[in-house]
Amino acid sequence: MEAPATQDPLRTRARGLGWVPLLLLLVALPWVVGVSRDHAMGWDESMHAGLPAARMALAMRAGDAVEVAQLAVGCQQYPFVFPLWLGAAQALFGVEEEVARVASRALWPLCLVALWWLGLGLERRTARPGDRAARRWVVPTTLVALGATSPLLLAFSGALFLEAPSFLVGTLALGAWVRRDGERRREIVAGALIALAVFTKFNYGLLLGAGLFLDLVFEGAAALRRGAGRAWLVRLGWLALVPLASFAWWFVWPWPGGLELGTSHWNAFWSFLDGNRGGNYTPVGVRLWELGTFLAAGPVALLLLLVGLLAALPRAGSRAARAALAVLAVSALAIGEHEFFLDRFLLAVALGAWPLAALGLSTLVLALPWRGAATGGGLVALLLLAPLVAQPLAAPYCDWIGVRTDANAAVLDTYHRQKLDLSPGRALPTAGLARAEFDAVLDLVAAAAGPDGRVAWIGGSSELSPAAVHLGLLERGGSQARFLRDSSTYRPGGEPDFDVTWSSIDPNWSKDQLLEFARRFDMIFTTEPIDLRRRPGRNFMANYRAMLLEDGHFAHERLGAVTISSSFGDPYSVELFVCRPAPR
């Protein structure tokens, strides 16, 4: 049974700990400024975050609030909260990829502070008579240690994916949820943070919302049994106020857009939720591999996490622990049954798992007969030291779950060193080209295009998206007018006008269709091999390049060659060409 909130106010329990958030921010500073610049933005980073953020930054610099709002509502499958964060940073410090990466990595210490705050709320709301005073710092410190030693959270906080901002807002929302006590302001704040989580990333926000709705069902049933159903409905009204208003704004009348845009948002939303279905189910061994080498810093850390989860189950009777358990259950079930799996999905599972594990581990160590402070400190030290044995144990762990073979052992062991790295400059999962390769290609493109030339590509790839090209040209002296004009169709959800197709399915264009497309541009770039990563499924794009050069309509010029590295083979050379309309 929970201790009444009036017996031990949270502000009293947390007294003397107000310096901890500042300490976390200061300690994390080397990780923020030391974020890796070794790779350029990949497709998802540049198209869904980097490009809308840069456009917002330029609008902010121009003082055009209406344009910022229009860009925000112009986002479709991927919402606007993270681009707004990146745009604000670039409006202040420069529209550059480096600024965006630092702004993204700055979310990591903010996540740790949010975990500390959530831990304080968990400690208070799950406390039982007779609990030791050390719980007031052991629970939040353990929770911070779980987050700080996760390679996954560190890696994605430097990349421009939506996982780190989604985890941050989700942590704040869960922290506000466990502090709900019927007071109107707290209910509204909790609802507002849930809405913010949805508009940070739709699917993760919905998983959080579904978990908290499940908790709400238990809460409502308990209120009815106590005869407090009417008071609970009033609380529910205040809780739902901001989510319902924001959803009506987005899906019905997204001002400064209109009703048609709201319908577009609705269609894009369902298309997004229905995406990535089908195909083969990712093997369980691969999912366990990501759990023990990326979510947790090695098998020891994963074992501690699992022990903590089991030890927390007796606390599930408390409302705060029940909420975390509901979020964990919903996210684990949804991601576990989903055919398509990416490592970054696990941060949605961590949102419920880490608070529960921190609560369980703290309960275990503080039940020991020694002094609570000493045992609590030992637990935190064990969590912080676990990454030191992660690399030696990674190979045996992978042997045990069956994902390591003689054929892949060398590659996998190298990959583990990269995944388990907790240094400030650790490699980021960008999926983009190595920085030197990207710079070499874009320097050639910028020299040929000049500040205003309108450019397209035949054979664009995941590693060199339209957004990456336009952002790269802007950083290399391209005009803002050209950038704003030519990137306007690349808002998330928009169909880009830059290449014949992005998919690996031939659209079967005729020559007339190709020439109609090509004549809208001053120059069209292409490479040999046609795909930068030599994907066989994209070889048909070479036919369109050959068709473009037939009959003398376009002339081509070789600009240079760039050496591209390969993770699983020797480096290879890629030639870059520019095609221009032939003089008439």
Over the stretch 84-133, which tens digit does the pLDDT of each residue have? 999 999 999 999 999 999 999 999 999 999 999 999 999 888 877 666 66
Query: What per-residue confidence (pLDDT) applies to 161?
Result: 96
Alpha carbons 484 and 488: distance in angstroms, whole number:
6
pLDDT confidence tier of residue 15, bands split at 50, 70 and 90? low
> Above pLDDT 90, what percent of the chain?
70
Alpha helices in 338-479 (DSSP H): 346-366, 372-385, 390-401, 409-419, 435-449, 466-475
pLDDT digits (tens, 9 = 90+) for 130-171: 666 666 788 999 999 999 999 999 999 999 999 999 999 999
Radius of gyration of the chain (CA): 26
Query: What per-residue confidence (pLDDT) applies to 273?
Result: 80
The encoded tokens of residue 349 equal: 């599972």
Alpha carbons 172 and 190: distance in angstroms, whole number:
9
Mean pLDDT of the chain: 90
pLDDT digits (tens, 9 = 90+) for 452-475: 999 999 998 888 999 999 999 999
Q: Are 143 and 16 in contact (CB under 8 A)?
A: no
The encoded tokens of residue 553 equal: 């309509």
Query: What per-residue confidence (pLDDT) applies to 365?
Result: 86
Q: Are 110 and 168 in contact (CB under 8 A)?
A: yes
**Interval 68-74 mean pLDDT:** 94
pLDDT confidence tier of residue 496, bands split at 50, 70 and 90? low
**Crossing angle of helices 372-385 and 135-148, rounded to 10°:** 0
pLDDT confidence tier of residue 547, bands split at 50, 70 and 90? very high
pLDDT digits (tens, 9 = 90+) for 297-336: 999 999 999 999 999 999 888 899 999 999 999 999 999 9
Query: What per-residue confidence (pLDDT) applies to 9?
Result: 44
Amino acid identity of residue 505, one-letter, is I
**Is the predicted pLDDT of residue 493 greater than 70, yes or no?**
no
Residue with token string 């999926």: 431
**Interval 492-515 mean pLDDT:** 80
**Interval 392-421 mean pLDDT:** 88
pLDDT digits (tens, 9 = 90+) for 180-216: 988 999 999 999 999 999 999 999 999 999 999 999 9
pLDDT digits (tens, 9 = 90+) for 334-384: 999 888 889 999 999 999 999 999 999 998 888 877 656 677 788 889 999
